[in-house]
Amino acid sequence: METQKNKKAKPKILYVDDELASLTGFKSIFRNHYDVYTAKSANEGYDIMKKENISLVISDQRMPGETGVEFLQKIRLDFPDAVRMIVTGYSDIDAVIKAINKSMVYYYFSKPFEADDMKMIMDNAIERLELRRQNKELLDRLSVMVDKLKQHKAKLEKEVKQRQLAEEEVRKLNKDLLVLDKAKADFLRIISHEIRTPLNGIIGPFQLLKDGILSADFKDILTILDASVKRLEKFALTALKITDLQTRSYQLYLSEVEISAMLDEVLNIWENTIQKKNIRVKKVITPENLCFKADRELVELCLGSIIENAVKFSPEKSTISVTIAELQDEVIFQIMDQGEGFSDFTLQNYHKLFSIGEEHIDGKIGLDLTLAKMIVDAHNGKMLLSNRKEGGGYVRIQCSKNKE
């Protein structure tokens, strides 16, 4: 059963006639189909039009005072959406025709009218009125949508323009950064060159001087100076290599590297320190003849930096383990020591170039581990630093065995 809320409201119809019998008859015929209002004069009908949302108004032509055509002409001006019809006798047909020609009325009925025909015509007129109202609503909604689209378009155009300006600014900044980056790289290369040039002139004569002096005090001083010169030379070489890797100007020279022989060469560099601290180096390579494709010079620098760090911070009579194994298509390097382990700062910043912290001040990090990480990255590998539960540092490197 249809609820009162969902039940469609009946169209409101006004019938104006000075004859009471006509009003009573009209209402009794159509009250089941429409919400019928009646008026005995044009003035009374006009008052109803002002109070109610009348869809269709029918007026008799012959009324005292104001005629039906005059009344409907007024309704047309004040209530243009309402459908207008007129009921007339044959003697008033000329006035009705003029009213139709001037679009004041939609239809006219001759007296006496046929109820079924009248209902059909009124239904058609109301249906047209409803369609017109729906079209107007659609047009209004469409107009609102068009306005919103215009606003959205204007907003998008503004955002696009802002984005274009931002992109242009980013391009300009990137260009400036490239210039600055090149200037920085050039500056670092100049520094490295300018440091190494006088060093080359110092190292040779310095060695002769060292060999010729017999005094123990002077030899101790020269030993300190020798270490400082070597450290400065190493810094110059390391800075230059980091600059080349960071700016991607270094071209990898790939070759088949025999890992065992290369590792021995790296360990030989630190042989004196290893023996002096009585450190045991445990080396395990599986298989023994394991090879992989890499840039030998860079790999030696990488392993040298890591082993130097392990030797430097390992206590006397401790063990450094170097395990290198083949796993599927990869080579895994694992270097472990029994020292104090890496500080939290080192673990968080070893992959960052020129990170600021106390470790740089006392020389615990320097650029060595940063260089090692950059070399691993250049080979598309992975490098991990951590501390062992039993104490000491742990470095793991994972690289492809056959890098293309």
Query: For 211-248, what is each residue's pLDDT tens digit?
Result: 665 566 666 666 666 666 666 666 666 666 666 676 66
Asked if 306 and 395 touch (Cβ cutoff 8 Å), the reply is: yes
* Of residues 78, 48, 45, the one with CA closest to residue 63: 45
Q: Cα separation of 140 and 15, whole Å? A: 31
Q: Identify the band that residue 385 occupies on the pLDDT scale cut at 50, 70 and 90.
A: very high
Distances (CA, A) of 49 to 29, 186, 299: 21, 91, 98
Per-residue pLDDT averaged across 181-201, rounded? 62
The amino acid at residue 221 is I
**How many Cβ atoms sit within 10 Å of the Cβ of residue 268?**
10
The amino acid at residue 359 is E
Crossing angle of the two packed helices 296-312 and 259-269, in degrees rounded to 10: 50
Q: Cα separation of 307 and 395, whole Å? A: 10
Per-residue pLDDT averaged across 371-397, rounded? 91
The amino acid at residue 146 is V
pTM value > 0.75: no
Q: What is the pLDDT of residue 362?
A: 37
The architecture that CATH gives domain 254-400 is 2-Layer Sandwich (3.30)
Crossing angle of the two packed helices 216-246 and 115-212, in degrees rounded to 10: 160
Q: What is the pLDDT of residue 207?
A: 66
Fold (CATH) for 12-113:
Rossmann fold (3.40.50)
* Of residues 255, 271, 275, the one with CA closest to residue 263: 271
* Of residues 83, 90, 84, 85, the one with CA closest to residue 112: 90
335 φ, ψ to 5°?
A: -120, 120
Helix (H) or strand (E) holding 20: helix 20-30
Asked if 264 and 281 touch (Cβ cutoff 8 Å), the reply is: no
Average pLDDT score, the chain? 81
Strand pairing of 291-295 and 254-258? Answer: antiparallel
Sequence ranges of the domains in the chain: 12-113, 254-400
Q: Identify the band that residue 50 occupies on the pLDDT scale cut at 50, 70 and 90.
A: very high
Q: Which residue has the higher pLDDT, 237 or 144?
A: 144
